[in-house]
Amino acid sequence: MALKFRSTNVFLKPDVSFKSRLVSKFINYIMVQGKKSVAERTFYEAMAICHEREPDVEPLELFEKAVDNVRPSVEVRSKRIGGATYQVPTPVRSDRQTALAFRWILTATRGRKGRPFPQRLADELIDAYKRQGTAITQKENTHKMADANKAFAHFAR
């Protein structure tokens, strides 16, 4: 029997500073070539920058709200029916919502150039917290595509 992994993964230890599994999972997404200490340092530097720029909001609260704002509720999936391919809107599972939010935030962060990574990450998290920025645009585009193709929703399983 295969184990099912959810966003509240019991096998994932909470991070050292915030005691949050969500933060620990995000740090794992930041990590490149197995260098977890570098990813942790990057994330905590970004949280310090977020706290400097938004002193009235706790860094963990800002991070959780930013991720929550980027999570998509629907997406489109290609489905081939009778020789034609349709973009069928489908609801997104909670673990995939989190994965997509992390991916979009990091893609937007890596797309910004000219500054150190922690500063770019802090900028993107603050933008996502305020419901602006590239990651939020990606979510809105996904929702618009799903809305435009809702005529094909009856093809969903």
User: CA angle at residue 9 from 4 to 15, to 5 degrees?
Assistant: 160
pLDDT at 9: 64
pLDDT at 3: 42
pLDDT at 46: 97
pLDDT at 5: 44
Written as tens digits, the pLDDT of the chain (157 aa) is 454 445 556 688 998 999 999 999 999 999 999 999 999 999 999 999 999 999 999 999 999 999 999 999 999 999 898 999 989 999 999 999 999 999 999 999 999 999 999 999 999 999 999 999 999 999 999 999 999 988 888 887 7
Give the Å distances, CA to CA, from 10 to 6, 7, 15, 25, 45: 9, 9, 13, 12, 26
User: CA-to-CA distance for 30 and 42, rounded, in angstroms?
Assistant: 8
Residues with Cβ within 8 Å of 40's Cβ and at least 6 positions away in sequence, in order, are 15, 16, 27
pLDDT at 38: 96
pLDDT at 8: 56
